[in-house]
Amino acid sequence: MSEDHATRIDRKTLEALVCPVTRGVLIYDAKAQELVSRGAALAFPIRNGIPVMLVDEARKLDD
């Protein structure tokens, strides 16, 4: 399995996930390996292909 394939998130998984704060849509940032919630101004990391949907693990977005 190539590294590029290993770091991609499954489209169905992405469609099923919502922001745990706002319940809004998440934007997949493949380069940063994050799921971004603009409504909550948070970016949730994806580690080893697994989204970490914990607010304490999320990065706050700059305005």
- 10-residue averages of pLDDT along the chain (63 residues): 54 89 95 96 94 97 84
How many CB atoms within 10 Å of residue 40?
A: 19
Contact 26, 14 (CB under 8 A): yes
Domain boundaries, the chain: 3-60
- Nearest CA to 39 out of 16, 15, 58, 11 is that of 58
* CATH code, 3-60: 2.20.25.10
Tokens 């590294």 map to which residue?
3
pLDDT for res 63? 65
Q: Which is it for strands 59-60 and 42-47: parallel, antiparallel or unpaired? A: antiparallel
